Amino acid sequence: MGAKERAAEGTAVTDTGAAYRQPRSTRSAAAAVRDLHPAYFAFVMATGIVSTGAYLLGPRWLSDALLIVAVAGLAVLTVALALRLAVYRSSVAADLRAPDRVFGFFTFTAGLDVLGVRFAAAGHPLVAAVLAVPAALVWLLLTYGVPASLLLARRRDSVLGGVNGSWLLWVVSTQSLSVVAATLVKSWPSQSSLLAPVAAAMWSIGLVLYLLLVSLIMLRWLTVPMTPATLGPPYWILMGATAITVLAGAKILGLPAALPVVRATSGFVEGFSFALWAFGTWWIPLLIVLGLWRHVRRHWPLSYEPTLWSVVFPLGMYSVATLSFGRVAQLSFMEPLARFMFWVSVAAWVAVAAAFLYRLARGPGVSGTGAPAAPASTTATTG
C-alpha cells in the first residue's frame, strides 16, 4: 500500500472515529430516551392529581404551579416516547414482552385523563375532551394487546413471576376514563345518554379487573419468593387503584339522578365505593411495613427511581377520592382525613422531585433504575 493510500485510509478512520465521538450530553440524552421507563408518565399522573387536590383544598397558587409542571412533563415525555418508538423500537418491543414492565404503558392513558380532569375542574372541559381522545385510543390498543401478548405469545414460561403492582395500572387507566366521562357530563348534558353509560361501564370493568389482578398479586406473593428488588414502589398502586375507583364512583353518584344508568347502579356504586375506600385505607399501613422491610431490614438503597411516582400518585388520589366521595355520600369525617393526606402527598411529591433533581445533577453515572449505568461503549453497541 502506498503512502497516499495509507494516508487516505488513516483519514477515513479518523473521520469515522470523529463521527462516533459524540458529546457526553448527546449520548446521555440518547440513553435516557432509549431506556425511558414505560411507567414514566406516572410523573404526570402524580403531579396532575396533587394539582387537583390543591385546586380543591388550596392553596390555588400551588395548584397552578403544579399544573404547569405537569403540562411541561407531559410534553417532554411525549416527545421522548415518540423518539423511542421511532429510533429504539427494539427497546420498546422488549418492554412489551416483559410482564413486569409492559403495564407501565397504561400510565400514558391515565396521565392524559388525570391532567384532563384538572383542566375540567378549572372550567376547560374542551381540553379534557381533547386529551381523552388519544387516551381512549391508547387504552383500547393496550387493553386487548397486552393481555393477548401475555396469553398467546408465551408458550413455556409462566408470567406469574412478572406480576407486580404495575399490573394495576390497567385498572387505574380504565377508571381514569370513567372519571373523565362522568366529568364531561356536567359540561355537555346533551351527551349524557352516551357519557353516563360509558362512565358506569368503565367503572364496572375497572372494578372487576381490580378484583382479578389483586388475586394474581396475592398468588404471586404466596408462591414466588419476595426480594427487595421485586418489592418496589409500584405496589402502592394496590391502594391507588382503589382510590381512583372510589373517585370514579363519586363522579357517577354526582350525576343527575334521573339518568337511567344512575338509577340502575347508584346503590351498588355507593356501597362498593365505600368498601374499596375502606380496603384502600387498610392497604396503607401494610404498604408502609413492606417499605420498611425493604429499606431498613434488607438495606435496599433509598434513591431515586422512576417508579417512585407510583407512590406519590396513590397518596394524592386517596386525598381527592376521599374528599369527593365524602361530599357526595355526606360522610363528614372524610374531609379532615382528605386534607391531611393531601399534605402528605405534597410532601411525597417534593421528596421525589428533589431526589430526581439530585440524580439529574449527578449526571449520567447512574441509570434511572438505581443500577450503575452502562459504559459508553456498551451504550453505543446496544443503542
pLDDT at 241: 97
**In contact, 342 and 294? CB cutoff 8 Å:** no
pLDDT at 160: 79
Domains assigned to the chain: 36-151+164-366 (1.50.10.150)
Give the chain's residues under pLDDT 50. Answer: 1-20, 365-383
**Cell numbers 387507566: residue:** 173
pLDDT at 156: 66
Tens of pLDDT, residue by residue over 140-191, are 999 999 998 888 766 667 787 788 999 999 999 999 999 999 999 988 998 9
> 142: Cβ–Cβ under 8 A, 6 or more apart, which residues?
105, 106, 109, 170, 173
pLDDT at 364: 54
pLDDT at 370: 40
All 3 cell numbers of residue 217? 398479586
pLDDT at 224: 84
